[in-house]
């Protein structure tokens, strides 16, 4: 039985869409790891450590959720090392589905015992992405409906420094 799950992503920064998915995963699985990826070629606004701290702050009231950083390793390897048997991903659109099916296929080849679990985005957050949040925050727009309080403050601070 899949008791331990993993939710991996860039979380640059964590949004209410991510948080909703984590809350729902925490009801389905005994233990959920939010894995902040530091592997990607993408340049990020926040450092991995900052992204981890913001995610930690956002999930602090969820007792079966913790946050870690992934470095120099494939997500499936991390999952295998920690006896995690489910990888949760979020689906906002058909575009997400196309992409997720490819990733799930690749991951399945690497780790046949790790199952990909796709959860549908909440209707309220279907159009929400970290990219949109950053775009709005960069023009000093209001992102309070999209991210939690600490993340909104961190965004303001980042774009003031820039």
**Which one of residues 66, 80, 92, 158 is an interface residue with ligand ADP (CB under 6 A)?**
92
DSSP state of 71: -
CA distance 70 to 76: 11
Active-site annotation holds for 144: no
**Which of these is catalytic: 92, 108, 126, 158?**
92
Q: Which residue reads 């530091």 in tokens?
A: 38
Active-site annotation holds for 82: no
Where does 12-148 have alpha helices with state H? 16-28, 48-58, 75-81, 94-110, 130-138
CB of 95 to ligand ADP, least distance (A): 10
Asked if 33 touches ligand ADP (CB under 6 A), the answer is no
**Chain position whose Cβ is nearest to ligand ADP:** 17
Q: Which residue reads 């080849």 in tokens?
A: 109
**Which one of residues 6, 89, 137, 148 is an interface residue with ligand ADP (CB under 6 A)?**
89
**Which of these is catalytic: 16, 18, 51, 89?**
18
């Amino acid at each position: 039985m899949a008791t331990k799950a993993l939710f991996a992503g860039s979380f640059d920064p964590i949004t209410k869409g991510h948080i909703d998915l984590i809350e729902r995963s925490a009801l389905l699985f005994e233990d959920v790891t939010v894995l902040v990826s530091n592997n990607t070629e993408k340049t990020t606004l926040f450092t991995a450590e900052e992204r981890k701290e913001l995610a930690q702050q956002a999930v602090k009231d969820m007792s079966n959720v913790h946050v870690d950083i992934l470095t120099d390793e494939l997500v499936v390897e991390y999952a295998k090392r920690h006896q995690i048997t489910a990888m949760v991903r979020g689906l906002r659109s058909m575009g997400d589905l196309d992409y997720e099916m490819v990733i799930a296929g690749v991951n399945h080849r690497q780790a046949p015992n790790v199952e990909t679990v796709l959860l549908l985005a909440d209707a309220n957050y279907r159009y929400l992405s970290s990219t949109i949040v950053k775009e709005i925050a960069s023009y000093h727009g209001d992102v309070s409906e999209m991210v939690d309080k600490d993340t909104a403050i961190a965004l303001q601070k980042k774009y003031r420094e820039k």
